[in-house]
Amino acid sequence: MLVALAAAVAIVVAIGYGFIATNIASPAGNDLGTVEVPAEPGAEPVLLDDGRPAFVVRAERSVHVLDARVPREPGSPGRLAAWCDGFLYDPLADVVFAPDGRVRWGDGSDGLEAYDVELTDDGRAVVGHDGSPAGRAEGERPPSDGCDHVVHGPEPGDLFDPSVAANEEPPGWIWLEGRLEAVGDEVMLCDDPRADDCPTGAAVPGIDPATLLSLPGQLSGYFLGRVGDGVLDELYYVPRG
C-alpha cells in the first residue's frame, strides 16, 4: 500500500508541475484589454488595461491597435504620436506612419508597435499582449496642415505637478503638466509650463540636455509618465491637439 500511495502522490505532483509549467508558458488572461473600435475609418486614443497609451485605428478593411509611443533615438525625449487625416505623425521628427503602424515617410524607425487583435461579435477588439514593430511601407509624404490632430489627454483631476509626483511616487502611469528644461547636466520636467526658470520640478533621466536644446521651441504642456525612485523614469510628451 505504501508503494501504491507513493506512486499516486508522484503522479499528482507531476500533474501539478505540468499544470504550473503550462500556465507559465501560456498564462491565462494575459491580453491588454478590450477596446471600442471607431464606427468609421479613423483613430481613437486609448489607455490599455496596464495604462500604456495606444491608438485604435479603423482602416477601410481592417482594425489595428498601435502603441502610441514613437520609437526614438537614445537621448531624445519620449513622445506620443498624433493622428491626422488618416496617418500618425511623430511630433518631433519628420516621420509619418500608415494606419497599420508602418513607416510611410521618414527615417530611423521600424514602425509603431502593433498588437495582435481579435474582433468580438459586438464590434470591439481584444488586444493581445504580444506586439511587434510594424515595419516600413514607403510612400509619398501626406500633407498634415489644416486638420484637427487627435491626441491623448488627461481626464479632469488627473494631473500631477512633476515635483509632487516625484515626492509621492504614485504607482502606474500618471498625467503630468510641465515643461522640459535642460538644467546643468540633467533634464528636468519643471512644474510651471509657462515660466522662464525652473525652481521646482522632477529629474528625467535618459534625455541628453544637448539633444533637448537642439529641438526647435519648448516641450511644454501634458506628459504621460511613470515615477521611480523619486525621478520620472519614463516620460512621453503629448503633442498639442
Q: What is the pLDDT of residues 189-206, one digit of tens each?
A: 999 999 989 999 999 999
- Answer for the pair 64, 57: CB distance below 8 angstroms, yes or no: yes
Rg (CA), the chain: 22
pLDDT tens-digit map of 64-95: 999 999 999 999 999 999 999 999 999 999 89
- Answer for the pair 43, 150: CB distance below 8 angstroms, yes or no: yes
Q: Which amino acid is at 69?
A: R
Q: Which residue has the higher pLDDT, 26 or 160?
A: 160
CB-hemisphere CA count at 13 Å for 112? 34
The pLDDT value recorded for residue 28 is 41
Q: Place 109 in a pLDDT band, splitting at 50, 70 and 90.
A: confident
Question: Residues 213, 239, 49, CA angle at the centre, nearest 5°?
Answer: 120
Nearest to 202 by CA among 174, 227, 172, 173: 227
In the chain, DSSP finds a helix count (H) and a strand count (E) of 3, 17
Beta strand pairing call for 42-47 and 53-58: antiparallel
- The span from the CA of 173 to the CA of 175, in Å, is 7
Q: For all residues of the chain together, what is the average pLDDT? A: 88
Report whether pLDDT(61) > 60.
yes
